[in-house]
Chain A
Amino acid sequence: MRYKKLSFLLVVSLVFFLSVSLVLICAWFYYYFHDNKKAEIRIPLNDTISHQKKFDSLQNLYTASIGTLDTLSAYGNDSVRADINNKLAEFYRLRNEVNSLLQERSNPDKLETARLKITSLQQKIDELKARTMKVEYENKRLSSMLQQLSNELKTGEDATRRTPSGTFSKLPQDKPAVPPLLNISDVKISALSGSTEKVEETGSAEETERLSGTFTVRSNVHLSTNTELMIVVIQPDGRILQSTSWESGTFETREGKKIYSSKVLFDYKGEQKQLSFSISADEFQKGEYKVFIYQNGVVIGKGSKTLN
């Protein structure tokens, strides 16, 4: 029993001793060969200096490349930012690698790798530069196109607004140019006197207290929004008849800006409809009163009334 125990211990010790020896031998061999390799690479003093110079020049090259990238990274609009971001990410990865390589100046092996990586870095920078310049060029081209279109539009609008006398009228302010859609018929103009309870039609300028008009509208197109008609009444002296300033104003026509006598607002849904207007004034002149009905700046109906 005791003999067996001793034998076991001996074997274990032997195995342990052999393992340790083996490890030591391996280590010795490793360091032996490693040192030899180092000895092989050992460069004479003058080679060390040129190696250092090479690293320095690579460092300078790297620094200059990074400087270029910093200006480029400020570019890139939103629409190409994703693409540029990918390229930038790749570039940063390379940059970090080169940075770490350049820090290991004592390792000549890294020199070539650093040089290759810097070359690759420069290529990436050139790609980014080219991409950014392309984007800038496109932006400029699109801006000038927009400017040209805007000028053409303005010229076109000016041409349509030019009056026969060659002067310009002011731009249509609130409503875009929409073709008229209503047909007007049965235009009737009357001169009235008396109060609302007892209205009488008259032909005398002296007795007239207001000018009233009725007309029928119809359209083949269904209009679901408020429709606005402008009534212009031209007096015998050529001036526009206005009831009160509060109910008058101006609107744009093909002939330029005009003052309206009255405005008729209604909701039209496609059915035939009879509309009316009434304009009061302190005084009515003898002669012919001409009535024009406008929709979207275009005359769609006319009428007249002569007072004696």
Chain B
Amino acid sequence: MTRLLFFYILFLFSIPGYTQSSFKLKYKNSSVYAGIDIGSKGVKMSILEVGKNSQKTGTFNILQETSVNTDFISFTDPTFHATLTGLCSLYTTAVNTYQIPSSQVYTVISSGVKMQADKDDKNSWLKQLIDSFRICVNEPARNVELIDVLQEARLSHLGIVPESRRYTTFLIDIGSGNTKGGYFPNGNTKDFKLFQVNWGTKSVANATEKRLDDDKSIANFNKQLYRVLAGEPNSEIIYAVNVSGAYNMSDNMAVSGGIAWSVATLLYPELIDNPVVPVTYSDVVRFSENLVTNYTSYSDTAIVRSITDPTLDKNVIGREVKRVNQVFDQKSLMAGTGLLLRIMRQFEGLYEKKQFYLVKNGQVGWISAYVDQTVGK
């Protein structure tokens, strides 16, 4: 099984014979980096193009993303071997197939894995994985960092938010099961204030589904969603925002995660090439209302029809909108947008207005942060 997985990954990348030069680079004087992340579900590799001024502008472009689901956190021998094979294969592909220098390949074990290992007392398995990986790729000094929630949030912030806004931006990532993020309160990158809420897009949607009984209509889902969000999530969000002190210290609020990508794509298809999209609170409120009353207006055909700028590539826009609709159905969008609004509401003051941003590619922000740190040295 493991050997099969190894050859499968090699086969995947051997045709049509990718090299770094095969990538369509967006920026001038850019470099290509790879980040391999061992997560709860499996191993993921992201190939990233980082612009010359990425620290200042926060510009990076995802060239390719590949993942292998190995269920590492079940901590069994088969899943261990599958994860090790996946990790070695992806590394080999990055270095040999894409010709990315090994110094530009970063490997981390994410916070979800560490938390589960702590819980199950399997930290030795993590050490064994790292040692086995070093042997496999013949790099005894290879650094595989074990990052916790705080470091993950900190790295994301460093990688996504440009230097000019670093100390005035509160960044959060809305995931499927939880929401986390934070900001730098003291004007340095060492001190990071963490923000955590145990609600995400999927958990809100699940809680709402449980309340539907026999009436599975959208109208009832919307009604129950309001009730779910007005309950525990709202209290947790208010508490977490107040405890963090983020409101007083931030001019900007940036949101990443799947729902941010979806809303940004559907709300501003004209900015399809922009990794970060500025929005207002009322934009997202209107979007939320339209999801219930006029969902068909967010289909790929409807959105493409509404594009008037002749310089925009309607095929690219249509493909991306279709991808959003494949990943998120109407109810998932409603749940995620509802949660997003609840969080944004805490920053939508009557007099003082914060600027909101939706970040489409936040999942690879950590790689950009490593790049910045390496380049900075």
Binding site for B on A (CB under 8 A): 163, 165, 167-170, 173-174, 238-240, 242-246, 248-250, 255-259, 280, 282-283
Contact = CB atoms under 8 A, between A and B. Distances in A.
A244 B306 contact: no
A255 B308 contact: yes
30 contacts: A167-B305, A167-B306, A169-B308, A173-B280, A173-B282, A173-B286, A174-B283, A238-B310, A242-B274, A244-B57, A245-B58, A245-B59, A245-B277, A246-B276, A246-B357, A248-B271, A248-B274, A248-B278, A250-B270, A255-B308, A256-B308, A257-B308, A258-B309, A259-B271, A259-B309, A280-B53, A282-B29, A282-B51, A282-B53, A283-B28
A256 B309 contact: yes
Bin chain B's interface residue count.
20 to 34
Interface in B22-39: 27-30
Nearest to A244: B57
Contacts of B270: 250, 257, 259
A253 B59 CA distance: 28
A170 B162 contact: no
Question: Which residue, B165, B271, B277, has most C-beta atoms of chain A within 10 A?
Answer: B271
Nearest to A163: B308
Main secondary structure of the interface of B (DSSP, over half): loop
B175 interface: no
B308 A249 contact: no
Contacts of B357: 246
Nearest to A246: B276
B202 to A, nearest CB: 27
Contacts of B27: 282-283
Contacts of B280: 173-174
Nearest to B30: A282
Contacts of A249: 268, 271, 277-278
A259 B277 CA distance: 11
Contact of A246 (B58, B268, B282): B58
B24 to A, nearest CB: 14
Contacts of B268: 249-250
A246 B252 CA distance: 10
Contacts of A248: 271, 274, 278
A170 B308 CA distance: 10
B275 interface: yes
Interface string B263-298: 000001011001111101011001000000000000
B52 interface: yes
Nearest to A161: B308
Given A167-B306, A248-B278, 18 more contacts: A167-B308, A169-B306, A173-B280, A173-B282, A238-B310, A240-B311, A244-B162, A245-B271, A245-B275, A246-B57, A246-B162, A249-B278, A250-B268, A282-B30, A282-B51, A282-B53, A283-B27, A283-B28
A239 B27 CA distance: 15
Nearest to A239: B311
Contacts of A283: 27-28
Interface in B145-191: 162, 165
A163 B53 CA distance: 38
Interface string B89-112: 000000000000000000000000
A238 B59 CA distance: 22
Interface in B10-66: 27-30, 51-53, 57-59
B28 to A, nearest CB: 4
A239 B162 CA distance: 24
Q: In the complex, which of the residues B53, B268, B308 has the most CB atoms of chain A within 10 Å of its own CB atom?
A: B308
- Pick the most buried of B280, B305, B310, B311: most chain A CB atoms within 10 A of its CB: B311
The winner among B57, B275, B277 for most chain A CB atoms within 10 A is: B57
A173 B309 contact: no
B274 A245 contact: yes
Contacts of B310: 238
Contacts of A280: 53, 57
Contacts of B278: 246, 248-249
A269 B28 CA distance: 42
B28 A282 contact: yes
A256 B270 CA distance: 11
Nearest to B283: A173
Q: Output the residue of A169, A242, A245, A248 with the most chain B CB within 10 A.
A: A245
A211 to B, nearest CB: 15
B265 to A, nearest CB: 13
A254 B322 CA distance: 29
Nearest to A234: B311
A248 B277 CA distance: 8
Contacts of A168: 306
Contact of A244 (B59, B277, B307): B59
5 closest Cβ pairs, A-B complex: A245-B276, A283-B28, A256-B308, A244-B57, A245-B274
A161 to B, nearest CB: 10
Contacts of B286: 173
Given A165-B308, A238-B311, A245-B277, A250 B59 contact: no
Contacts of A170: 306
B306 A246 contact: no
Contacts of A240: 311
Interface centre among A169, A242, A244, A255 (most CB of B within 10 A): A244
A67 to B, nearest CB: 37
A170 B162 CA distance: 30
Task: Please indicate which of the listed interface residues A246, A249, A255 has the most CB atoms of chain B within 10 Å of its own CB.
Answer: A246
A280 B277 CA distance: 18
A260 to B, nearest CB: 10
A239 B311 CA distance: 6
B217 to A, nearest CB: 25
Contacts of B52: 282
Contacts of A243: 57
Interface string B235-279: 000000000000000000000000000000000101100111110
